Amino acid sequence: MSKLQGGMKCVKYLLFVFNFIFWLSGSLVLAVGLWLRFDTNTTSLLDGDAPGHFFIAVYILIGAGGVMMLVGFFGCFGAVKESQCLLGSFFACLLLIFGAEVAAGVFGFLNKDKIIKDVQNYYEVIMENDNATVITKMYHIVLDCCGTEETRPTALCTADSSDKDCLKAIEDFFIDKLFIIGYVGIGIAGVMIIGMIFSMVLCCAIRNSREVI
């Protein structure tokens, strides 16, 4: 019985430490999501009538980060109190967050080409619109490009302008952003799997110790 209690305490403290790390991870996810949403470069390219598919995955990331922080706090409380109810709820919440993370990753991966193509089409449309020169210049400044391989309007592209193709620059820009979402999602998913295992082990240990008593 003493060995059982010793093992349960070990798992309890491990779960507490994990939840603290999980809370910090939630803070990181939330921070990355907010950065992607309010990053000056990104928002300047997607303001106005520009397609906003990219932000759907970002919103999922922000929501998951906020919930992770809340769940991490209650997970710590459940581990300290040795509450089967709280630990079971913690496991269920982790499972839901895991699903949200996977959904964000799958959405971003499946719609990667569509997101890039929509923004490229938007750029080509505003480049032909004389009233949208301010937006076009913003693209040129943020992406350090000017025009496309087929079209370099003299009103926008001077001898001092970059020779980089804006369509290729848009593709590179959003691929980098989507990779950030993917890497963060994969890392947090691994952490959550460990948390689910710890919570179930501790929950079973608590149940067994009470049956022995």
Q: What are the pLDDT digits (tens) for 158-174?
A: 777 788 888 999 898 88
Q: Which residues of the chain have pLDDT under 70?
A: 1-8, 11, 42-54, 57, 104, 130-132, 209-213
Q: What is the value of pTM for the model shown?
A: 0.59
What is residue 213's predicted lDDT score, i.e. its pLDDT?
47
CA–CA gap between residue 181 and residue 202 (Å, rounded): 31
Mean pLDDT computed over every residue of the chain: 76
> For residues 162 and 37, what is the distance between their CA atoms, to the nearest angstrom?
27
Give every CB contact of residue 114 below 8 A, 6+ residues apart in sequence.
53
Number of domains into which the chain is organized: 1
Predicted local confidence at residue 1, as pLDDT = 45
Look at residue 81 in the predicted model and tell me its pLDDT: 74
CA separation, residue 155 to residues 124, 138, 164, 174 (Å): 15, 14, 17, 27
Residue 9 domain boundaries = 2-212
- Alpha carbons 110 and 112: distance in angstroms, whole number: 6
Residue type, 181: I
pLDDT for the residue numbered 112: 80
pLDDT, residue 109, reads: 74
pLDDT at 32: 80
The H or E element spanning position 161 is none
